[in-house]
Amino acid sequence: MTCDLVSRLIDEGPLVLGSGSPRRRRILEGLGLEFIVDPPDVPEDALPDEGPREHVSRLACDKARRVASRYERATVLAADTIVWIDGHILGKPRDAEEARTMLITTRGRWHEVYTGLSVARASDGALRSGHEVTRVLMRDLSDHEVELYVESGEPLDKAGSYAIQDCGSAVVERVEGCFYNVVGLPVVRMCRLLEELASVESL
């Protein structure tokens, strides 16, 4: 069943998800939306002195524009998610050792999850973007629990080395803010941006 509350906001079809994330894909599928998956090829390295809001917002816009340039007509949705703690960005770990280090850094502590989100209209390049922030408290994991979670393989392609919607739900103690933001796609923010884009007159 299609969620008409969301589908009515899509200004120009088809809807294109500019991301290879299976988590974002599952959220859109849960809304009953039909969409194309077309991941962009955009470097995700942070720029010097770039804060978390600026970082995720820039990447989401770059991704949306890159994918939109491939279509004559489409509504493109792109996002970027990071974990922010101690003034540092935690993206996806490169290997098990880095995943282990991230989990040890965040255990028993609060951190923030930032997602930048952009929606673009391919026909005229109109774009709207924003970001969402959620505070997350990690459970104070033992070294053995960290090791077991790393060995599961789940942390290896997740920002901050955990997936709150899967086994990682057992390592998160508390969430303040949008749960879906931690998964990687803040749905209410997405709807607001789609509504804003639809209100922009075509050039």
* CATH code of the domain containing 173: 3.90.950.10
Q: What is the DSSP letter of 161?
A: G
Q: What distance in Å separates the CA atoms of residue 66 and residue 109, rounded to the nearest whole number?
A: 36
| pTM for the predicted model, two decimal places | 0.91
Catalytic residue among 38, 62, 80, 86: 80
Q: What distance in Å separates the CA atoms of residue 155 and residue 162, rounded to the nearest whole number?
A: 5
Residue 135: both structure tokens together: 């505070």
Three-class SS of 78-120: EEEEEEEECCEEECCCCCHHHHHHHHHHHCCCEEEEEEEEEEE
Q: What is the DSSP letter of 140?
A: -
What is the pLDDT, as a whole number, of residue 2? 47
What is the pLDDT, as a whole number, of residue 165? 84
Q: Tell me the pLDDT of the chain (203 aa) as tens digits.
A: 445 778 888 988 899 999 999 999 999 999 999 999 999 989 888 888 899 999 999 999 999 999 999 999 999 999 999 999 999 999 889 999 999 999 999 999 999 999 999 999 999 999 999 999 999 999 999 999 999 999 999 998 888 999 898 888 899 999 999 999 999 999 999 999 999 999 987 76
Backbone angles phi, psi at 17, to 5 degrees: -90, 110
Q: What distance in Å separates the CA atoms of residue 154 and residue 69, rounded to the nearest whole number?
A: 33
Answer yes or no: 166 catalytic: no
Q: Which residues contact 39 (CB under 8 A, 6 or more apart)?
A: 18, 19, 20
Q: How many structural domains are present in the chain?
A: 1
Render 19-46 in DSSP notation, one character per residue: ---HHHHHHHHHTT---EE-------PP
- Cα maximum dimension of the chain: 58
Which residue segment(s) compose the domain that 166 sits in?
Answer: 4-199
